[in-house]
Amino acid sequence: MTFDPVCDSDSGGTFISCDSCSNYFTACLARSFEFIGFRREMAHSCSTIQHPMPARLTTLQKNLRKSIVSNLNSILTEAWRLGTGPWRNFRMQKMRSESKVPTFILFYHRIADTNPNPWSMTYSQFEKQVRWLQQNFDIVSLEETQRRIQSGSNTRPTISITFDDGYAENSERALPLLLTENIPVTYFVTTQNIRQQKPFPHDVKDGAALPVDTVESIRAMANAGIEIGAHTRTHPNLGPINDPHVIYDEVISATRDLEDIIGKKVNYFAFPFGQHSNLSVDAFQLLLQHGFKGVCSAYGGWNDIGGDSFHLQRIHGDPNFTRMRNWLTYDPRIGTAERYDYSKTSQSIDWSTWQQENNLDVADQPENKSNILQTESTKG
């Protein structure tokens, strides 16, 4: 199938004309104006009420306001996608001709129809995204993504799917869907929450102690063929931490604990929060020394072919389909995301010396370390 980064249907994979895109744009605009008109009418009616507004009406207003903002944002995003369409088509043709089509990696957190929050989406939203990805991308494992990056040649739109944290509801419908469709997925989990069955602090703060995966469920995922990855022990912000004991425990000891749970080697690590300020050069170097195959961030950006295959940049699996589709159809802003370069920043911890002083096994070197360092040196 030929991938058109501008005119693709929301489902079915059939290309649509620019007239159809315009009709879609007009429909979105009309729908937003309907929301605005209804909100004004409701506000006028409420102004005649002399007693306090019922709580349910206040909730309705808030939901309407969110719907208006969401629809207007979708309109602006779609207008941006269509307006930059010629540039995207030109860029895509150029990348194909040079066999340099970059790879994407999505990260999700929680797929559930209850207790909505900014890091969750409904199952129907997730399924819609998966169907669209199936029709427009090669959906591959992280290992295959790395292989394509290292090969220096890729002509096909490529994407990988990952999950962070370890929410129990993912096992109800989202993961079974991926397994049924033979879609590779890497599932990053925080070990203390799994071991102790503790909800995440950000969920508790949000007023909903959401269930987390169990040791048994993580083990079952691994046995079903899902790649289990490490996501620290307690989900800290590793960026400002410079205590080697804390970094080692969160990164290496927690990974060994996870390996004990699943009975398999863990090859991938994802930084909690994953923005530039949450990353750590010391943690990167420790992960390299201990033979991890790859490390994931979460600040956006695609992965250039022929570039660094150890640090894998990821994009948020946004519940807003229009926004997610815009990012994955080669939004020029994604391609210019500043890459975190762990090779040019000096580390503060000499891990070999520190591990010897603390009677810890000195890590084995990863098989692909020479390739990684060679790639970094060629980047200048």
CATH of the domain at 233: 3.20.20.370
Query: Do residues 178 and 142 both lie within one domain?
Result: yes
Does residue 13 lie within any of the structural domains?
Answer: no
Q: Residue 124: which H helix or E strand, with range?
A: helix 123-136
Domain of 160, in residue numbers: 100-379
Domain end call among 83, 111, 133: 83
Number of domains in the chain: 2
pLDDT value at position 278? 98
Please tell me whether residues 113 and 56 are part of one structural domain: no
Confirm whether 364 is domain-assigned: yes
Residue 317 CA: distances (Å) to CA of 125, 163, 321: 10, 9, 9
pTM summary value: 0.80
329 and 366 in a single domain? The answer is: yes
In a domain, 319, yes or no: yes
Going from the C-alpha of 285 to that of each of 138, 228, 305, 352, the distances in angstroms are: 31, 21, 23, 10
CA 49 – CA 46 distance, rounded (Å): 5
Same domain, 135 and 28: no
Residue 12 lies in a domain: no
* Structure tokens belonging to residue 121: 């989406």
Is the residue at 195 inside a domain? yes
Q: Given this model, what pLDDT does residue 22 score?
A: 41
228/219 Cα distance (integer angstroms)? 9
Q: Tell whether 266 and 193 lie within a shared domain.
A: yes
What tokens does 247 get?
């970094």
So what's the pLDDT on residue 112? 97
Do 77 and 104 lie in a common domain? no
**DSSP strands (E only) in the chain:** 103-108, 110-111, 120-121, 138-139, 158-163, 186-189, 227-230, 268-270, 294-296, 311-312, 315-316
Answer yes or no: do 196 and 337 share one domain. yes
Query: CB under 8 Å to 269, separation ≥6 — which residues?
Result: 188, 229, 230, 231, 251, 255, 287, 292, 294, 295, 296
Same domain, 43 and 166: no
Could you identify the residue written with the tokens 């699996």?
A: 317
Q: Half-sphere exposure of 113 toward its Cβ, with a 13 Å CA cutoff?
A: 6
pLDDT digit of tens for each residue in the chain (380 aa)?
Answer: 333 343 343 333 322 334 444 444 444 444 444 443 444 443 444 444 444 545 555 767 777 777 777 778 888 888 888 888 888 888 889 999 999 999 999 999 999 999 999 999 999 999 999 999 999 999 999 999 999 999 999 999 999 999 999 999 999 999 999 999 999 999 999 999 999 999 999 999 989 999 999 999 999 999 999 999 999 999 999 999 999 999 999 999 999 999 999 999 999 999 999 999 999 999 999 999 999 999 999 999 999 999 999 999 999 999 999 999 999 999 988 888 999 989 876 778 999 999 999 998 765 443 433 333 333 333 33
Interaxial angle between packed helices 85-97 and 55-83, expressed in degrees from 0 to 180 and rounded to the nearest 10 = 60
Residues 68 and 163 in one domain: no
Residues 6 or more apart whose CB falls under 8 angstroms from that of 154 comprise: 99, 100, 101, 102, 103, 148, 305
Is 11 contained in some domain?
no
Same structural domain, 214 and 272: yes
Number of helices (H), then strands (E), belonging to the chain: the values are 16, 11
50 lies in the same domain as 179: no
Residue 4 is assigned to a structural domain of this protein:
no
Q: Is 90 contained in some domain?
A: no
- Asked if 270 and 161 count as a contact pair (C-beta separation under 8 A), the reply is no
Nearest-angstrom CA–CA distance, 129 and 325? 9
State the distance between the two ends of the chain, measured CA to CA, in whole angstroms: 37
Residues 318 and 183 in one domain: yes
